[in-house]
């Protein structure tokens, strides 16, 4: 018998005979049934014909006042209905049966009367096949007490190290002395005989305690701890039991170990964030070192209750002259933490940070500096975001970054340099005429894109330019140095008759 407490039948029952009819409407959820699936049960042609004939015979001239939904497992169905193909192991077949009203209405109470026939003798009619699926909410609710206890029953984050290994943990921040539980979970449906999960952290920052789980019947788990000169490493070695070697096993991850991670109070001031790298190694496979040191998780600890963080800068704007000069432009940042008591503390060294667009502005690895170094795309922004994180606490900056508009505008005070009459100089192999000079000026504009892609100019109008000559002085070049050269003051001096051009080489 399939019981569904989430369904709500709609019941209409006149209370007086002889029209004492009980009608029940039961709506089955549409998502129970796959689209396009067959609407027929798994019956042979002879069985289907016999069932159709009996259905017509028994229902001719009869009333029915009830519906029973029955699953193909657990009820002794007639032989014609017990057939189930091998590939239908993840589905159940739904049937219904009909039963009539009591023959003696005078003795029957004004309600639905259940047929007294045994369930095995009722005529069953096929509805559809229902595909069984994992219920994520139910799985989460039915997690073992051991796993829930590992994370202290608190909300945690999930991080897949690969397709088989999952860790659940809290990023924090938590008070030092209140360890963070890390649940290490492993699928069973892969072919390797054993797997090794390694956690590596910088030495002297964390207290690590590992405990293997006892609820798994698929794995034998051993724990090893190695202390090096710079790092502490915990290895979780999982051997698949022999009786499960040829079994696919459950797809849902099972907890194999629980780690307790706590920040050592002597290793930080107000707050600390520690990065831990994870690596997974399988038997029978090549296990090259993972790129960037493997998958990384972060744990944040504080010495007090913190309600929020806020990044502070001296200015909300950066003018990206690094594209012109190849010299970085930076802007210092301080990240402040606000406690429950209203006290403010500098926690810049403890936060993680990320720019929303490294092609516009970058942030240093220690989160203390915003900068541009000339490698950017050349597109500015009126509001590029930079986010700072301390565990689940976050704060952000909206920064205006102005980039030079290219191509630059190079202008000369005189485009034609003539020999000065009567002026000559000794060229070593005779006298040569002295030519006129021209002043070189390089102009540019600084712009930024708004949220809708519109272009905004630093000086407020596209008619205004900035003199960038000094910025690009070292990058000015003459195409044909035999015709003219530049002196140290960026003046163009003619040498011989001819034609040439001046350009900025690094743009």
- Mean pLDDT of the chain, nearest integer: 77
Find all residues with CB under 8 Å of 136, minimum gap 6, and list them.
none
Q: Which segment of 72-76, 174-178, 288-292, 448-452 scores lowest on mean pLDDT?
A: 72-76
Is residue 173 reached through a cis peptide bond, with omega within 30 degrees of 0 on the bond before it? yes
487 contacts 459 by C-beta, under 8 angstroms: no
Confidence check: pLDDT of 72 > 60: no
Which helix (H) or strand (E) segment holds residue 387: the answer is: strand 381-390
Residues 475 and 507: their CA atoms lie apart, in Å, by 9
Q: What is the mean pLDDT of residues 298-314?
A: 93
Confidence check: pLDDT of 322 > 60: yes
CA distances from 395 to 89, 263, 289, 337, 444 (A): 51, 23, 34, 10, 35
Residues 316 and 320: their CA atoms lie apart, in Å, by 13
Q: Where are the domains of the chain?
A: 10-131, 138-302, 306-404, 409-445+463-504
Which helix (H) or strand (E) segment holds residue 25: the answer is: strand 23-25
Question: H helices within 339-415, ranges in order?
Answer: none
Three-state secondary structure string covering 298-318: EEEEECCCEEEEEEEECCCEE
Kindly state the tokens that stand for 34.
């796959």
Q: Name which residue leads in pLDDT, 186 or 466.
A: 466
- pLDDT at position 506: 79
How confident is residue 289, by pLDDT bands cut at 50, 70 and 90?
A: low
Q: What is the mean pLDDT of residues 306-326?
A: 95
Residues 127 and 149: their CA atoms lie apart, in Å, by 43
Q: Which segment of 57-61, 166-170, 306-310 scores lowest on mean pLDDT?
A: 57-61
Give the CA count within 13 Å in the CB-facing half-sphere of 3.
2
Q: What is the mean pLDDT of residues 153-160?
A: 79
Confidence check: pLDDT of 487 > 80: yes
Coil, helix or strand at residue 90: coil
- pLDDT at position 67: 34
Same fold, 138-302 and 306-404: yes
Strand partners, 211: 258
Please name which of 185, 168, 251 lies closest in space to residue 219, comparing C-alpha atoms. Answer: 185
How confident is residue 297, by pLDDT bands cut at 50, 70 and 90?
A: very high
Kindly state the tokens that stand for 136.
């994520």
Confidence check: pLDDT of 370 > 90: yes
How confident is residue 239, by pLDDT bands cut at 50, 70 and 90?
A: confident
Confidence check: pLDDT of 207 > 90: no
Q: Are strands 317-319 and 393-404 parallel, antiparallel or unpaired?
A: parallel
Q: What is the mean pLDDT of residues 432-443?
A: 91
Confidence check: pLDDT of 434 > 90: no
CATH number of 138-302: 2.60.40.680
Q: Which segment of 106-115, 220-229, 362-371, 417-426 scores lowest on mean pLDDT?
A: 106-115
How confident is residue 455, by pLDDT bands cut at 50, 70 and 90?
A: very high
Largest CA distance in the chain: 141
Kindly state the tokens that stand for 276.
């831990």
Is residue 234 reached through a cis peptide bond, with omega within 30 degrees of 0 on the bond before it? no
- pLDDT at position 438: 94
Confidence check: pLDDT of 76 > 60: no
CA distances from 285 to 187, 188, 195 (A): 17, 17, 10
Confidence check: pLDDT of 477 > 80: yes
262 contacts 179 by C-beta, under 8 angstroms: yes
**In 39-164, which ranges are E strands?**
68-71, 91-97, 124-131, 157-160
Residues 422 and 143: their CA atoms lie apart, in Å, by 99
173 contacts 347 by C-beta, under 8 angstroms: no
Q: What is the mean pLDDT of residues 247-267?
A: 77
**pLDDT tens figures, 188-197:** 777 778 899 9
How confident is residue 125, by pLDDT bands cut at 50, 70 and 90?
A: confident
**Strands ordered across the beta sheet of 124-131:** 68-71, 91-97, 124-131
Confidence check: pLDDT of 108 > 60: no
Confidence check: pLDDT of 8 > 70: no
**pLDDT tens figures, 384-406:** 999 999 999 999 999 999 999 98
Q: Note the CATH architecture for domain 306-404.
A: Sandwich (2.60)
């Amino acid at each position: 018998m399939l019981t569904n407490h989430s369904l709500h039948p709609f019941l209409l029952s006149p209370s007086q005979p002889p029209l004492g009819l009980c009608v029940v409407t039961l709506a089955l959820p549409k998502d129970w049934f796959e689209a396009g699936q067959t609407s027929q049960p798994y019956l042979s042609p002879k069985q289907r014909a016999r069932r159709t004939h009996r259905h017509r015979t028994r229902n001719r001239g009869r009333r029915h006042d009830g519906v029973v939904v029955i699953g193909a497992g657990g009820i002794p169905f007639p032989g014609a209905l017990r057939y189930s193909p091998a590939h239908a192991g993840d589905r159940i077949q739904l049937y219904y049966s009909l039963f009539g009203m009591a023959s003696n209405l005078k003795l029957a109470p004004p309600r639905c009367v259940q047929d007294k026939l045994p369930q095995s003798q009722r005529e069953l009619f096929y509805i559809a096949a229902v595909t069984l699926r994992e219920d994520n909410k139910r799985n989460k609710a039915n997690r073992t007490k051991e796993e829930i206890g590992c994370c202290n029953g608190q909300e945690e984050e999930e991080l897949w190290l690969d397709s088989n290994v999952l860790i659940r943990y809290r990023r924090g921040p938590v008070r030092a002395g209140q360890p963070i539980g890390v649940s290490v979970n492993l699928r069973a449906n892969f072919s390797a005989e054993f797997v090794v999960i390694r956690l590596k952290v910088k030495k002297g920052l964390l207290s690590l305690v590992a405990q293997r789980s006892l609820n798994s019947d698929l794995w034998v788990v051993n724990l090893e701890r190695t202390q090096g000169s710079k790092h502490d490493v915990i290895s979780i070695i999982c051997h698949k039991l022999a009786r499960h070697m040829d079994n696919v096993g459950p797809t849902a991850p099972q907890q194999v170990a629980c780690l307790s991670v706590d920040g050592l109070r002597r290793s930080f001031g107000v707050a600390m964030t520690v990065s831990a790298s994870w690596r997974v190694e399988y038997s029978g496979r090549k296990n090259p070192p993972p790129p960037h040191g493997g998958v990384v998780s972060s744990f944040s600890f504080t010495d007090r209750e913190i309600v929020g963080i806020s990044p502070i800068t001296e200015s909300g704007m950066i003018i990206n002259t690094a594209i012109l000069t190849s010299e970085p432009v930076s802007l210092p940042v301080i990240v402040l933490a606000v406690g429950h008591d209203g006290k403010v503390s500098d926690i810049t060294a403890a936060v993680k940070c990320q720019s929303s667009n490294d092609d516009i502005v970058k942030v240093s690895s220690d989160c203390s500096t915003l900068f541009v170094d000339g490698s950017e795309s050349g597109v500015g922004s009126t509001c590029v975001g930079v986010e700072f994180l301390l565990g689940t606490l976050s704060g952000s900056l909206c920064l205006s970054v102005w980039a030079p508009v290219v191509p630059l505008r190079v202008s000369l005070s005189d485009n034609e340099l003539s020999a000065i009459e009567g002026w000559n100089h000794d060229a070593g192999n005779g006298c040569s005429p002295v030519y006129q000079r021209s002043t070189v000026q390089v102009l540019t504009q600084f712009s930024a894109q708004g949220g809708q892609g519109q272009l905004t100019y630093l000086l407020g109008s596209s008619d205004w330019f900035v003199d960038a000559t000094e910025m690009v002085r070292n990058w000015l070049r003459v195409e044909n140095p035999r015709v003219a050269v530049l002196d140290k003051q960026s003046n163009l001096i003619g040498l011989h008759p001819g034609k040439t051009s001046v350009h900025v080489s690094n743009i």
